[in-house]
Amino acid sequence: MAGSASPQPRRPNPPRQKQNDLRKPLQVMHISRKEEQNDPNGKTSETSNTELPDQQSLNSRKAKGNLVTPSRPSGYNDPKIQEDLPLNMGDEEISMGDLLAKEERLKQTDLIPNKNNFNSVNFVERSVDDFDFDEGAFLAALDENEPIGNTGETAKGHVIGIESDGVYVDIGGKAPGFMPKSECGLGVITNLKERFPKGLEVEVLVTREQNADGMVTISCRALALRKSWEKVLELAQKSSVVEVKANGFNRGGLTCDLEGLRGFIPRSQLKEGENHESLVGKTLSVAFIEVSPDNRKLILSEKKAVTAAIFAKLKIGQLVEGRVVSVKPYGFFIDLGGISGLLHQSMVTNGSIRSLREVFNQGDNVKALITDLDCGRGRIGLNTALLEGIPGEILIDKEKILAEAEERAKKAQSLFKANDDDDEIK
């Protein structure tokens, strides 16, 4: 193109000079402390290591992939180790075989302690008896540093401070426990200073473990609720009848308080369930249907209380009188004045019968002995076969058995008593 510079001709590159001469490594002078100690005149012997590696064998091994680049071993600066290490250690690559051979030589010279020459590094074994160990002091130190107040534990302490939002109680920890105002007790507390004067001894429940400052959160309310549930559970296990005061109502029934706990009485469990609003403020006798601390359920029953009151008057071997209210294929249901007992077909007579109606019909009066009581399930087991003199007598002369029921019951009761004595001896 016109006006442009003409291209410059290419100049041939000069031929590269063959590097026949290998670059010689720097000469390093080593001073052997071993030789210095062995010289009686105190003169040091200087040795130089000018050993050159075989470059061709090094390149061939590198091409085969047998070489590794190790890191400098511990003790590399020790003159004793430097005597046997190659000059290019850490700068050039060596094979794994060289490393293994070097390690074996180090072991033989006691520079690397092993199982066989462990005592060569002046290691002295000591037993436990050589140390001053006081077990009592050790346990005391553990007790002193043991954290006080795990969640769920009870603790006793003294009130040491009162704030507007809570109370501080000394329970023996690194820091006092803090009880929020809402956890100071059941119900509403308006005056903390009057309720918790300084120095007052209180028992609390730990609700939260130590924080970074060593302070735990405590509660009087939680401890009171725990004790209330324990007491209510004990009453329920005994099938006790308790009195409560109805303090509210809803469409389902009445609410009440029992040992500081909120209880509920369903309408179906009230004797006057149709107009249950009128029962608010009245005291009712109730029994327990469900007590569940985990779910915070406390279900009560007025009707069951009537049954429980009757059960409290009954005992095994007692003679009772009732009326047949229902005849079933498996026996008779007898009304005992508010509760029902079952006279099973196997307990009617010691003889054989073809039909239950051969003995009793609905509406007949019956006298029988109680042989089973289960207040929890509301079951009463009755028996007329024990009143018979001979097997099947009730089928022949039922009226005579009913007339002599009290005298015959005494004989049967003596048998119950004898069985009870045998059980106590066992």
* pLDDT (tens digit per residue) in 167-208: 999 888 777 889 998 888 887 788 888 889 999 999 988 888
Q: Are residues 206 and 256 in the same domain?
A: no
What's the CA gap between 223 and 202, in Å, rounded? 11
- Compute the distance between CA of residue 18 and CA of residue 83 in angstroms, rounded to an integer: 35
Q: Residue 135: its pLDDT value, please? A: 72
Locate 103 and state its tokens.
Answer: 């390690």
Question: What would the mean pLDDT of 224-229 be, rounded to a whole number?
Answer: 91
Instruction: Read off the pLDDT of each residue in 140-144 and give the average, rounded to a whole number.
Output: 60
Q: Could you say which DSSP state residue 88 is in?
A: T
φ/ψ of 163, rounded to 5, equals -120, 175
* DSSP helix/strand/coil, 7: coil
- Same domain as 261, residue 205: no
Query: Among 306, 316, 313, which residue's Cα sits nearest to residue 284?
Result: 306
In a shared domain, residues 249 and 335: no
Q: Which amino acid is at 40?
A: P
- pLDDT at 333 exceeding the cut of 90: yes
Q: Indicate whether 85 belongs to any domain.
A: yes
In this predicted structure, the answer to whether residue 6 has a pLDDT above a threshold of 80 is no
The pLDDT assigned to 146 comes to 56
Structure tokens at 252: 């389902």
Q: Mark out the alpha helices in 39-185 (DSSP H runs).
A: 55-64, 79-84, 96-108, 135-145
Instruction: Compute the average pLDDT of residues 305-312.
Output: 82
CB 244 within 8 A of CB 300: yes
> Mean pLDDT lowest for which of 104-108, 152-156, 277-281, 303-307?
104-108
Q: Tell me the residue type at 127.
A: S
**Residue-wise DSSP of 163-213:** ETTEEEEE-SSSS-EEEEGGGSSSS--S-HHHHS-TT-EEEEEEEE---TT
Say if residues 161 and 155 touch (Cβ distance below 8 Å): no
Least confident span in 15-19, 87-91, 198-202, 374-378: 87-91
Same domain, 45 and 94: yes
pLDDT at 52 over 90: no
Mean pLDDT of the chain: 75
The residue from 274, 308, 342 where one domain ends is 308
Shared-domain flag, residues 196 and 253: no
Q: Which residue has the higher pLDDT, 423 or 47?
A: 423
Contacts 24+ apart (CB under 8 A), 336-340: 336/310, 336/380, 337/310, 338/306, 338/307, 338/310, 339/307, 339/310, 339/311, 339/378, 339/380, 340/380
- Do the beta carbons of residue 333 and residue 325 sit within 8 Å? yes
**Residue 368 falls inside a structural domain:** yes
364-368 mean pLDDT: 91
Listed range (19-28, 150-159, 306-315) with the worst mean pLDDT: 19-28
Q: How confident is the model at residue 121 (pLDDT cuts 50, 70, 90)?
A: very low
* φ, ψ (nearest 5 deg) of residue 64: -80, -10
> Which structural domain range is residue 85 located in?
38-115
Q: Using alpha carbons, select from 336, 395, 329 the residue that is nearest to residue 367.
A: 336
% of the chain beyond a pLDDT of 70:
66
For 329, half-sphere exposure in the C-beta direction (CA atoms, 13 angstrom radius) is: 0
CA angle, 172 then 173 then 175, to 5° = 120
Under the banding of pLDDT at 50, 70 and 90, the label for residue 419 is: low
- How many residues are recorded in the chain? 426
In this structure, the answer to whether residues 419 and 322 fall within a common structural domain is yes
- Please report which helix (H) or strand (E) contains residue 224, including its range: helix 220-237
Q: How many helices (H) and strands (E) does the chain have?
A: 11, 19
Question: Model confidence at 119, in pLDDT bands (50, 70, 90)?
Answer: very low
Q: How confident is the model at residue 107 (pLDDT cuts 50, 70, 90)?
A: low
Counting Cα atoms < 13 Å in the Cβ hemisphere of 261 gives 25
Q: How many domains does the chain have?
A: 4
Are 375 and 308 in contact by the 8 Å Cβ rule? The answer is: yes
Say what the pLDDT of residue 342 is.
92
Q: What is the pLDDT of residues 389-414, one digit of tens each?
A: 888 888 888 889 889 888 888 888 87
> What is the spatial distance between Cα 244 and Cα 232, in angstroms, rounded to a whole number?
13
Band (pLDDT 50/70/90 cuts) for residue 245 is very high
The verdict on residue 30 lying in a domain is no
pLDDT of residue 421: 55
In terms of domains, do 335 and 293 share one? Answer: no
Query: 339 and 388, same structural domain?
Result: yes
pLDDT of residue 104: 75
Domain identity same for 284 and 181: no
**Quick check: pTM over 0.75?**
no
The Cα–Cα gap between 395 and 407 comes to 19
Whether the predicted pLDDT of 32 surpasses 80: no
Establish if 145 belongs to a structural domain. no
Rounded CA separation 291/263 (Å): 10
CATH of the domain at 374: 2.40.50.140
- Which of 244, 242, 195 shows the shortest CA–CA distance to 221? 195
Which of 198, 224, 250 terminates a domain? The answer is 224
Single-letter amino acid code for the residue at 93: E
pLDDT bucket at 131, cuts 50 / 70 / 90: low
CB-CB contact of 82 with 106 (8 Å):
no
Each residue of 65-74: pLDDT tens digit? 444 444 454 4
pLDDT confidence tier of residue 255, bands split at 50, 70 and 90: very high
CA–CA dist 9, 2 (Å, integer): 19
Do 196 and 184 form a contact (C-beta atoms < 8 A)? yes
